[in-house]
């Protein structure tokens, strides 16, 4: 197995627990699954508090629910921003890797072009020598 790692593998290895957790939270909160679960939770919360016969833990206008959402937003925003900052860093690293790959490919192509030119010149020199030999032999 090759020891050459992609830029992405190298980047993942540098991430600590907090960074991986922030990325997971951002991925989860940015999904339809999260939206659907949260919507079901809100509907259930409101429904149980509006029609509950014996116990209303959060009566209308659902101040506790608002507090839950405020707390969620207070933590979610910086976590998502951390993940976005890392995404920008990943993009920068990928762009640098792509640039280096292009530079390396350009150097290889230039080396091949020089080698092909050299082969072409050698062939032409050989043809000229053969023509000169034919000319000198015919005199």
The token pair that represents 61 in the structure block: 């206008």
pLDDT at 102: 96
* Helix axis angle, 32-51 to 17-29, nearest 10°: 70
- DSSP at 121: H
More confident residue, 118 or 135: 118
Domain count across the chain: 1
The SS3 assignment for 112 reads helix
- DSSP codes, 6-24: -HHHHHHHH--HHHHHHHH
Classify residue 129: in a domain, yes or no. yes
Classify residue 5: in a domain, yes or no. no
Classify residue 9: in a domain, yes or no. no
pLDDT 10s digits, 29-52 = 889 999 999 999 999 988 888 887
pLDDT 10s digits, 91-109 = 888 899 899 999 999 999 9
pLDDT 10s digits, 73-90 = 999 999 888 888 888 888
Classify residue 98: in a domain, yes or no. yes
Classify residue 44: in a domain, yes or no. yes
């Amino acid at each position: 197995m090759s020891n050459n790692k992609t830029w992405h593998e190298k980047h993942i290895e540098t991430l600590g627990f907090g960074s991986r957790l922030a990325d997971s939270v951002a991925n989860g909160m940015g999904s339809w699954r999260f939206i659907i679960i949260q919507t079901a939770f809100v509907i259930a919360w409101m429904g149980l508090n509006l029609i509950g016969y014996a116990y209303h833990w959060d009566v209308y206008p659902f101040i506790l629910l608002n507090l839950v959402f405020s707390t969620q937003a207070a933590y979610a925003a910086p976590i998502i921003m951390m993940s976005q900052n890392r995404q920008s860093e990943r993009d920068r690293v990928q762009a640098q890797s792509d640039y280096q790959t292009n530079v390396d490919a350009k150097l290889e192509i230039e080396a091949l072009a020089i080698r092909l030119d050299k082969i072409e010149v050698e062939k032409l020199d050989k043809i000229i020598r053969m023509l000169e030999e034919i000319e000198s032999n015919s005199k």
